[in-house]
Amino acid sequence: MKSLDALDLTFTTLSVDGDGIATLSLNRPDKRNALNEATVDELIDIFTVIPRAGVRAVVLRAEGTHFCAGLDLVEHHQEDRRPEDFMHVCLRWHEAFNKMEYGGVPVIAALKGAVVGGGLELASSAHVRVADATTYFALPEGQRGLFTGGGATIRVADLVGKARMIDMMLTGRVYQGDEAISVGLAQYLVEDSEAKAYALARAAASNPPLSNFAICSAISHMQNMSALDAAYAESVVAGIVNTQPASRARLAAFADKTAARVRPNA
Ligand code: 1HE
């Protein structure tokens, strides 16, 4: 397996701080961080390595003023792809985004500007989405004469529901601000989405890694199962996670009343 340092990245950048918080930046601001084939290849490499590299949480951010403009439409136009070519493009997107969603390491997306088309597919593969006042969400596929190919039919429909997704694709409807939060496109709307994303990443990183692994993989897997199978899988996962040595000190602190209690927001 390649180490993080050995990854040869051109369209993204990656760094990890001393607390195991990784910063992954989309780095094509001149092209509004449109996802070309090379970027998706890098995402596959990165999310292949991250789960086994001691990374405790990832902040996914972007250079420039837009998070991501989706599929690189110019590359797609110039490549003049055949159906089977684009099917393989989509399979690479799915590989990258599935590694993100099912990898077991929390990914917090710091959003701004356009989060559109494939950019929304990328953002919806993160575990937490943080928006700011500039952030807007759209699926302009219909207007471009395209269809989603990076998992929107699964993840965006899951976030906002089938009817809203169809409306977005048919009519070009844009969601932003409180409305975007209320329909489920992001969980937070704040002034500084990056600062909030790092705060959330630090909070998540303070959990035992095995708990985070379960939260950031088991829930997604269980969504794909029947209720009967999901209940079985949940009990197996809980059997392992809820008896882990790393939780003993936390449980002891609760029992002897030294652990913080859960209180309402101030
Ligand atoms: C791009 C792309 C792109 C910008 N592919 N090059 N996605 C879309 O339909 C969104 C297309 N983009 C836009 O609507 C706008 O560019 C933005 C709202 C994101 C930003 O607007 P703006 O005014 O800041 O930038 P711009 O002048 O439009 O673009 C600046 C440069 O970025 C320009 O390149 P330049 O070389 O002429 O300077 C643009 O060509 C380039 N650029 N967006 C390629 N998307 C797996 S299927 C997924 C299907 C989809 O994702 S469909 C949705 C596609």
Domains parsed from the chain with CATH numbers: 4-205 (3.90.226.10), 225-255 (1.10.12.10)
For CA atoms 172, 133, 28, 39, the dihedral sign is negative
Residue 251: pLDDT band with limits 50, 70, 90:
very high
Give buried/exposed letters for 167-186 (b at 16+ CB in 10 A, else e): ebbeeeeebbeeebbebbbb
Please give the backbone phi and psi of residue 99, each rounded to the nearest 5 degrees, phi first: -60, -40
Nearest residue by C-alpha to atom 47 in ligand 1:
149
Distance (Å) from CA 21 to ligand 1 centroid: 30
pLDDT value at 149 more than 90: yes
Q: Is ipTM strictly over 0.90?
A: yes
| Atom 15 in ligand 1: residue holding the nearest Cα | 69
> Is residue 194 flagged as an active site residue?
no
pLDDT above 90: percentage of residues in the chain:
97
What is the per-residue pLDDT for 4?
87
- Within 6 Å (CB) of ligand 1, which residues are found? 30-32, 34, 66, 69-74, 90, 93, 114, 116-118, 140-141, 144, 146, 148-150
Examine the pLDDT at 29 and tell me if it is beyond 80. yes
Rounded to the nearest integer, the mean pLDDT of the chain is 97
- The pLDDT, as a whole number, for residue 1 is 62
Model confidence pLDDT, tens digit, residues 32-47? 999 999 999 999 999 9
- For residues 1 and 48, the answer to whether their CB atoms sit within 8 Å is yes
164-173 pLDDT tens trace: 999 999 999 9
**What does each C-alpha distance from 254 to 4, 181, 206, 209, 266 come to in angstroms?**
37, 34, 16, 20, 22
Q: How many other β-carbons are positioned within 10 Å of the β-carbon of residue 94? A: 17
The reply to whether 121 belongs to the active site is yes
Tell me how far the alpha carbon of residue 32 lies from the centroid of ligand 1, in angstroms: 6
Ligand 1 pocket: which of 31, 39, 89 to mutate (most atoms <8 Å of CB)?
31
Residue linked to tokens 């797609």: 76
* pLDDT per position as a tens digit, 51-72: 999 999 999 999 999 999 999 9
Rounded mean pLDDT, 75-86: 97
Catalytic residue among 141, 191, 194, 234: 141
* Full DSSP string of 113-153: SEEETHHHHHHTTSSEEEE-TT-EEE-THHHHT----SSHH
Provide the pLDDT for residue 252: 96
pLDDT in tens, 221-240: 999 999 999 999 999 999 99
Residues 6+ apart with CB under 8 A from 173: 138, 167
Between 266 and 153, the higher pLDDT residue: 153
Tell me the pLDDT band of 5, cut-offs 50, 70 and 90.
Answer: confident
